[in-house]
Structure formats: structure tokens, C-alpha cells
Amino acid sequence: MAICEILSVGTELLLGDILNTNTQYLSRRFADMGISVFYHTSVGDNPERLAGAVRTALSRSDIVIATGGLGPTPDDITAEICCREFGFELEFDKATADKITAFFIAKGVEMPRSNLKQAYVPKGGTVLENTHGTAPGMGMKKDGKCLVLLPGPPYEMSEIFEKHVVPYLSEYRSGAIVSHEVRTMGISESRLAEEFSDLLSGENPTVAPYCKIGEALLRVTARADSAEEAERMTQQVIEVIRGRIGEYIYGIDCKNTEDAAVPMLRKAGLTVATAESCTGGLIAKRITDIPGASAVFKHGVITYANEVKVRELGVSEKTLSDYGAVSEETAVEMAKGIRRKSGADIGLSVTGFAGPDADEDGKSPGLIYVAIDAQGFTECEKIETGRNERDYNRYTAASRALNLIVKYLKTELKI
Amino acid sequence: MAICEILSVGTELLLGDILNTNTQYLSRRFADMGISVFYHTSVGDNPERLAGAVRTALSRSDIVIATGGLGPTPDDITAEICCREFGFELEFDKATADKITAFFIAKGVEMPRSNLKQAYVPKGGTVLENTHGTAPGMGMKKDGKCLVLLPGPPYEMSEIFEKHVVPYLSEYRSGAIVSHEVRTMGISESRLAEEFSDLLSGENPTVAPYCKIGEALLRVTARADSAEEAERMTQQVIEVIRGRIGEYIYGIDCKNTEDAAVPMLRKAGLTVATAESCTGGLIAKRITDIPGASAVFKHGVITYANEVKVRELGVSEKTLSDYGAVSEETAVEMAKGIRRKSGADIGLSVTGFAGPDADEDGKSPGLIYVAIDAQGFTECEKIETGRNERDYNRYTAASRALNLIVKYLKTELKI
């Protein structure tokens, strides 16, 4: 099996200014491809130490993939040093230069001359096109070894990786690996681990529980000679999982609850409108993260203050004084109010304490109500995260609210 | 100056199952302490490769700090391998064993016998107490070099580090390092690099440009005998930067534009209301990310559909048909509309094409207008990102909109 080393280049990593998410991304993808990663190395923008790290990596691995340091400034030295160590020369590439120039023209900005540095690519290597930025990726192969250079910005790195590096490395892959994620909401990672202790010890397919913000998932991975066979093996296991905890599953291979909810709404031909308090726009933001959301989402309001809940949504002052803004009663009136006001098929609402620290009336951070209102259907869920973490509580509240849509469409409308 | 290497041990890192946040944490703290980190290395729970990585690290660094692999199971080999490579023997420590036993008694759980493995510590070394878990940290010093082992769970790692490792490494600290980030908006990383080519080659203070989503920053770092002197040195450089590109600076050491805008609004005693189209709630979400935002933000609307812009904000049908929803005219009417409707001091709006792909009337993804309306002040900015990336365009639009608040408060109200 081929061995890979991931080399991250950038002084900002060594200073702790940025978190090395690229390395995790690449590690996971190499695991999917059946390529073993034995080392991660990070080194600064220093010619000598970078050269040493590349030499070491090439001596012990078949594939070395380096990210970062392909920018236009003088401290971007990855291309120069790595190519030299691997025995490739850099040469000016007119096609790449034209793309860089076009990139600036499209932005209506004058190109700094320094950007043409990014048009130098390894002679005899492969240019891996970057449609999101000016630094192309580069691939070189020699004596059974392979060196790939990718820009550091994660969205550029991952796009080039998926489009160009995966096929470029096809000869190093072993067998076929198929992996699916069973996404759940409302059941903990440790509960999943207990419930599926029999499957967790399997070697092929493997089943592994993971914890995400406010939710848990099971990753099912099978390895076989063909993709069809590996796919069949994973589906068998997914059926077992469905049989045991089906009610908690909101989707397979969805990225999150909006990724499940929006396509279901489109399929049902229904629209949703949102009324948010503590999430402050996050639910609407997550719905509209999905391209094409305009078919299902027209209108949302953020009613952060109580008087705005009354004025904009018709929440009654009595409800607010009797039960408080953070209550099932208020959440339901908000959902009904936005549905009425917007004319949408579904009204979705959230009200709660995101924290940090307790609200004046002594309720705890992490106490949140999410509610849904639709034709002949109203439901409210109480959430108690037990955490005093604003981001966690807001994200979890939004996920649970979006999951109300999934549950409604699944159980009531059989979508 | 002392040189440090951070060594992470664990196959789960190489599989991409977990993100290496420990290394970022430690890197940042070493930078604070004036200790240079030159390498990060991650290696799996494999005796040979771990031994090799420790040898390499000890050969090129004064301090090696390893995290992970101190657990009770057979694949936890960090203590054994690292001590052997550094020439220390492990011995049973009764005091540590008693603490581990007490830990289980306190939890009311029977102690697995395997946990006593964690009571073996280096003879002649220092035990670094872990109050959150059973694996103690360990420190060893020899011939001017130092090896520190810490457990992998971030919560345990950081507590031992702050309480015990910082004092343990006091002899390696050199002087003081002070670093500041000059955050800018509307000027590219390469333009910054050109504008400050004279400062970029300086050795102390150092100035380095970095690219963030839709913006760029300059990091200014100085090293001196005292923190006061280092601070003075950075401030001198920051003054030079202000003198040249002051109009692009939205803050020093802010995390982002909301982090600059919200405290400024609080200081000015002003409120803002938002009217969002393509950002779909992201601006409101980012404002309310900041704890205490309720003092400055009460109300926002997401008017994704044209009819909602008319109904909720009073945008005129004629404006929409004459200029289109994505136009300066619509953006300005949205900002005025939300200000009027909400009674806030400032109305902020955005309308644009986030992409992917072009809208029906042929305008390009990345074409976005952001507008601000306040007492006697209205401004609109046109943005053309030139990118067909929804996330990038939405984030950038929100940043630029929030920057309008900063610019208004700075230039008009002199906040």
C-alpha cells in the first residue's frame, strides 16, 4: 500500500495563528482512497528547513503532498524549494500566466507584477488548475515517487484536490473504498457506540461513531475489489442501522440538517419562513447556504428584542410576561406569527438563551425552544445543552430547528 | 533563542478523525513565551516511527513537547518510547498510583488494572500533575535539552501546560514577543506586500501580510528584552502603516469586521437593523455572534424574494423593474426601509448574486451592493468579487457591509 506524507508550509502555522484544517481534510481523503498517511509535518517559510523537510519526506514516503507557500510574495518559496529538491526546474507557463491575468481582469483590479511569479510551474510536471485563485497546484512524478503542491487556502486546496489530485493519484489507490455517513440528531455518540458495539468491532465494513456539534454520526466504510461490491456491503450495514435507530436519522451523506431539509422542501413544493431570536439569523443563513434555496425561502425575521416579537410577529404581551421570551408558548406564537405574516407553508422559530452567562430571570444558557407551525401541525422542542457556549448553543439550536422540518416532512407528509 | 518542536502522537490524527487543535494551542503559547517553534510533526502509535520522530526532534530542537499516547491501552506507547530515546527509565510511582486510584474512587467506578500503567514515570524526571484525568504529564531535562509528555485530550493538556509546563520551561524563555494584527478591508494581500516591501524585509519588528476570506492583514511582531519595549516597537510600525493605508484599516487585533463594528456601536450608543437579500441572515448572525449584541441590534429581516422587499421594506416596484433587485438603487431603498421600519439609528442592507452561476438577467455571481443609511448619511458600495463561490461571496458581502458601519462611525462620527 502506498505511503503518503502531508507537509504544511507556513510560519503562521508555527505561530499558532491558524488551525491546520488542510491536514485533517487530506488525511481523511487519503484514508478514503486506501493510501496510508504515516507522517504530518509543518515547517515555516524558511528555505533550509523546508528543503530538509521535503528531503526527509521524499525519503520515507511514496507521495508527498505540500500545502501553502504558493502565493506571490517573496516569502512564498514552496514551489522553488520543493521542485529543486525533487529535481524539477521551474519554467514560465504562458497558459497559466494568461489565466492569472484573466482572473484580475474579471475582478476589475490591476494585477500586481508579483503575481506572475505564480505562472512558474515545474517543467515536465502537471499544472493542476485552480479556478478559485491565482496559484495553480502542481504535480510531479519521478522514480515511482510523487510530489504534489497545493495552495494553502482551504477552499482552493480542496477544489484542486477533488478535481485534479484524486485522478492524478489513481495509480496509488488500492482496491475500492466506499464510505457513507449516517447522520443523526437527538442521540449521543456514546449511545451510538453502545447501540452498535457489535458493528464497531467489525473489520470490513468498519463502523465508527463521530461527534459533531450538537449531533453524532456513524461512518460506514467498506473495502472491496469493486466499488459496486463495496457499495453493497455498506448498504447492508446501513439497513441494520436504520432498523435500530431509524427515527434519529435525518439523512445519509448530508452535510448537515439544512442539506437534508432544503431538498426535501423542494421535493414537497413547500416554502418556509423563519423567526429567530437567539440564533440571530443563523437558521436563515444556513437555509440560504444551499444554492437554489430561493425556491423554498422568501422571508425571515430576526426579532432579537421583545417589542419586535410583538410588533412583527404578533406575539402577545401577556405570553411574554406570563411565560417569558424563552418559553414554549413564545416559540409557538413566533412560528405561527411568521407563517401568517409571510404566507409561507411552514413557520419555523427559535427563542432561547445562547449565553455566555445566565439571563436576568435565572434561566440557564443552553435553554432553547424551537417550534414549527404548518397546516394542521404544530410542534415545539425544548433543548437543554447544559453548555455556556454561545456558538455551540446557537449552532445546535439552528440544527434542531431545521431537523423539525425534516421530521415534519418525513412523518406527516411521508416525503 | 530556544527552539521547540511539537510532536503529536496518534493514528487518529493520521486518519483525519480528529483535528489537531493541541498543536495550534501550544504553538501560540510558545510564541507568547518567546520560544521559537520550527517544526510540527504528527506520527501514529507505531513504535519504530515514533522512535524515529523523537530522535529527529531531539536532534534539531532544544525542547520537544509530545502530546497523546499516554493512555492505559497497549497502543499507548509514548511514555515508553520517548523515555527510552531520551535515556530515561520508567519506574513505578506510588504517589501517582494513589492519585489514579483516588480518581476512580471519586467517580464511583472500578479501576481497570490497565490504568496502573499510567503510574510509571521517568526516574529522575518530573511528574506534571493532571487533575482532570489519570495520565500525568512528564518532564525530563538532560544536557540542555528538555522533553515534555502531555496527555492528548485538549482539556487535560492545556491545564497541565498552563499550571506546570510554563514554570518548568521558564529557563528557556527569552525576552518578550509582542504581536499585533492590522486588519484591512478593500486592499489585497499582494498590494499590501508591494506597499510595504520595505517593512517586509525587516527582521525586528517583522511585518508579514496574510490573506483572509475577502480581506488581508498585516501582522507586526517585535521581540525585545521587555514587553513594554516590544510593544513600543510594534506601535511605531503600526503608525507607519496607518500613515500609508489608514483608510483601509478597520481595526487592530479584531477578529473580523463585526468584532470591530459592535464595540464601536456600543461606544456610540447607536443601534443597527439589517435588511438582507443574498447574505440570507449572515450579517445579523455575525453581529449577534458577539456577546452583548442585544444592546445594538434588535431587528433584522431577510427579504429574499422581491415581493417581500416591497411589502416589508417599502422598496418601490418601479426601482425593482427599472434597475433590478441587484442594484445600488434597491440596496439604498432597503437600507432606508429597514431603518424606517425598525426605528434603529442605522439601516444596513445587502443585495446581490451570491452564485453559483449567473442570474437570469445576466449579471455575474459576485456582483453585490451593500448600503448604509443613517441620519444625514447614505452610502452604497458595489462589490465585484469575480468569483462564482456562494460562501465566499456571501461572507465577503457581509464583511463589507459591516465595514460600512466602521467607516461611518470612524469618518462621520469620529468614534
- Residue at a domain's end among A252, A270, A299: A252
Element (H, E) at B128: strand B126-128
Cβ of B16 and A24 within 8 Å? yes
Residues 6+ apart with CB under 8 A from B96: B118, B119, B121, B127, B136
Average pLDDT, chain B: 93
d(CA A71, nearest CA chain B) in Å: 9
Residue A149: CATH number of its domain: 3.40.980.10
Give the span between the Cα atoms of B108 and A242, in whole angstroms.
Answer: 35
pLDDT on residue B414: 87
Contacts of A407 (CB under 8 A, 6+ apart): A250, A379
User: Are residues B314 and B246 both part of a single domain?
Assistant: no
Q: Which residue of B has its CA nearest to A154?
A: B213
A40/B28 CB distance under 8 A:
no
Residue type for position B372: I
Q: What is the pLDDT of residue B361?
A: 66
Tell me, yes or no, whether A146 and A162 share the same domain: yes
- pLDDT class for B271, splitting at 50, 70, 90? very high
To test the contact with chain B by mutation, choose from A11, A40, A297 the residue with the greatest count of B C-beta atoms within 10 A, namely: A40
B68 CB neighbours in chain A (<8 A) are none
Give yes or no for a contact between A339 and A347, defined as CB atoms under 8 angstroms apart: yes
pLDDT at B410: 94
pLDDT in tens, B218-249: 989 898 888 899 999 999 999 999 999 999 99
Does A188 lie in the same domain as A137? no
Please give the radius of gyration of chain A, using alpha carbons only, rounded to the nearest integer. Answer: 26
Which one of B40, B271, B334 makes the best mutation probe of the A interface by having the most chain A beta carbons within 10 Å? B40
Nearest by CB: A281 against B39, B285, B392? B285
pLDDT mean by block of 10 residues, chain A; 415 residues: 95 91 94 90 96 97 97 92 97 94 83 89 96 93 97 93 94 83 89 87 84 86 87 97 96 95 97 98 97 94 96 97 96 98 98 81 87 97 88 95 97 88
Question: Does ipTM come in above 0.90?
Answer: no
- What are the residues facing A138 on neighbouring strands? A127, A149
Which residue of chain B comes nearest to A25, CA vs CA?
Answer: B16
Q: What percent of chain B has pLDDT over 70?
A: 99
Confidence (pLDDT) at B31: 85
Residue B358, pLDDT score: 62
Do A235 and A159 sit in the same domain of this protein?
Answer: no
Q: Which amino acid is at A279?
A: T
- The cell numbers describing A161, all together, are 484536490
Query: Which residues lie below 8 Å from residue A411, measured CB to CB, with a gap of 6+?
Result: none
Q: How far apart are CA B349 and CA B371, in angstroms?
A: 5
Contact B37 A15 (CB under 8 A): yes
Ordered strands of the B176-184 beta sheet = B206-212, B215-224, B176-184, B249-252
Residue partners of A199: CB distance under 8 A and separation at least 6: A207, A237, A240, A241
Q: Please list, in sequence order, all residues whose beta carbon lies within 8 angstroms of the beta carbon of residue B136, skipping any fewer than 6 positions away.
A: B70, B96, B99, B118, B121, B127, B128, B129, B130, B160
Residue B30, pLDDT score: 92
Q: Which of A19, A282, A307 sits opposite B21 (nearest CB)?
A: A19
The domain that holds B320 is classified in CATH as 3.90.950.20
Residues B412 and B377 sit within 8 Å (Cβ to Cβ):
yes
Closest Cβ–Cβ partner in A74, A208, A299 for B305: A299
Q: In B, which residues are within 8 Å of A284 by CB distance?
A: 280-281, 302
Which residues, listed in sequence order, are joined to residue A39 by a DSSP beta bridge? A5, B43
Number of C-alpha atoms within 13 angstroms, CB side, residue A137? 29
Lowest mean pLDDT among B111-120, B157-166, B191-200, B232-241: B111-120
- How is residue B101 written as a grid cell? 486510584
| Mutate which: A3, A8, A9, A15, vs B, most B CBs within 10 A | A15
What local confidence, expressed as pLDDT, does residue B62 receive?
97
DSSP collapsed to 3 states, chain A = CCEEEEEEECHHHHCCCCCCHHHHHHHHHHHHCCCEEEEEEEECCCHHHHHHHHHHHHHHCCEEEEECCCCCCCCCCHHHHHHHHHCCCEEECHHHHHHHHHHHHHHCCCCCHHHHHHHEEECCCEEECCCCCCCCEEEEEECCEEEEEECCCHHHHHHHHHHHHHHHCHHHCCCEEEEEEEEECCCCHHHHHHHCHHHHCCCCCEEEEEEECCEEEEEEEEEECCHHHHHHHHHHHHHHHHHHHHHHEEEECCCCHHHHHHHHHHHHCCCEEEEECCCCCHHHHHHHCCCCHHHCEEEEEEECCHHHHHHHHCCCHHHHHHHCCCCHHHHHHHHHHHHHHHCCCEEEEEEECCCCCCCCCCCCCCEEEEEEEECCEEEEEEEECCCCCHHHHHHHHHHHHHHHHHHHHHHHCCC
d(CA A265, nearest CA chain B) in Å: 16
**Are B247 and B281 part of one and the same domain?**
no
Q: List chain A residues with CB under 8 Å of B390.
A: 289, 291
Kindly list the residues from chain A whose CB atom is less than 8 angstroms away from the CB atom of residue B300: 280-281, 301-302, 304
For B404, the domain range is: 257-412
pLDDT tens for B168-190 read 999 998 777 888 999 999 998 88
Residue ending a domain, among B147, B172, B197, is: B172
Residues of B in contact with A300 (CB under 8 A): 280-281, 301-302, 304
Q: Which of A366, A28, A408 is nearest to A208 (CA)?
A: A28
Element (H, E) at B126: strand B126-128
Nearest-CA residue of chain A relative to B366? A107
Are B371 and B268 in the same domain? yes
Tens digit of each residue's pLDDT (9 = 90 or more) over B351-367: 999 988 766 567 789 99
Give me the number of domains chain B comprises. Answer: 3
pLDDT of residue B360: 59
- What's the one-letter identity of residue B84? R
How many whole angstroms separate alpha carbon B268 and alpha carbon B405?
A: 11
* Global confidence as pTM: 0.77
Query: What is residue B119's DSSP assignment?
Result: G
Examine the domain organization and report whether A21 and A111 are in the same domain.
yes
DSSP label at residue B118: G
| Cα A379-A384-A385 angle, rounded to 5 deg | 125
Whether A280 and B288 lie within 8 Å, measured CB to CB: yes
**B323 and B389 part of one domain:** yes
Q: Which of B3, B13, B42, B155 to mutate to test the interface with A (most CBs of A within 10 A)?
A: B42
Q: Test B386 with A41 for CB contact under 8 angstroms.
A: no
Boundary-marking domain end, from A217, A252, A287 = A252
Mark yes or no for CB contact B41/A40 under 8 Å: yes
Query: What integer pLDDT is reported at residue B21 of this predicted model?
Result: 95
Sign of the CA dihedral with A131 first, then A134, A135, and A139 last: positive
Instruction: Find the CB nearest A303 among B13, B18, B299.
Output: B299
Q: Among B19, B40, B304, whose Cβ lies nearest the Cβ of A294? A: B304
Of B42, B179, B302, the CB nearest to A39: B42
The beta-carbon neighbor of B299 closest among A8, A291, A302 is A302
What is the per-residue pLDDT for B227? 84
Residues 6+ apart with CB under 8 A from B374: B339, B345, B346, B347, B408, B412
pLDDT for the residue B124: 96
Q: How many CB pairs lie under 8 A apart between chains A and B?
A: 254
Q: Is B20 in contact with A25 (Cβ distance < 8 A)?
A: no
How far apart are alpha carbons A350 and A338 in whole angstroms?
A: 11
* Predicted local confidence at residue B314, as pLDDT: 97
Give contacts of A291 with chain B, Cβ < 8 Å. Answer: 355-356, 390
In a 3-state reduction of DSSP, which class is residue B301? strand
Contacts of A235 (CB under 8 A, 6+ apart): none
Looking at the fold, whether A158 and A43 belong to one and the same domain comes out as yes
Q: Do B300 and A302 touch (CB under 8 A)?
A: yes
Residues 6+ apart with CB under 8 A from B276: A281, B282, B283, B284, B300, B301, B302, B303, B349, B350
Do residues B373 and B347 lie in contact, with contact meaning Cβ atoms separated by under 8 Å? yes
Q: Do B61 and B119 share a structural domain?
A: yes
Cross-strand bridge partners of residue B208: B219
Q: pLDDT > 90: what percent of chain B?
A: 74
The pLDDT-based confidence of B11 (bands split at 50, 70, 90) is confident
Q: Measured between beta carbons, which residues in chain A are less than 8 angstroms from residue B39?
A: 14, 41-43, 49, 53
Res B6 pLDDT > 80? yes
Same domain, A139 and A183: no
| CATH code: domain of residue B241 | 3.30.70.2860
Of the candidates A49, A73, A307, the beta carbon closest to that of B209 is on A73
Best of A50, A101, A304 to mutate (most B CBs within 10 Å, chain B): A304
Cβ of A11 and B208 within 8 Å? yes
Write the pLDDT tens digit of every residue in B384-411: 988 888 999 999 999 999 999 999 999 9
- From first CA to last CA, the distance across chain B in angstroms is 42
- B240 and B337 share a domain? no
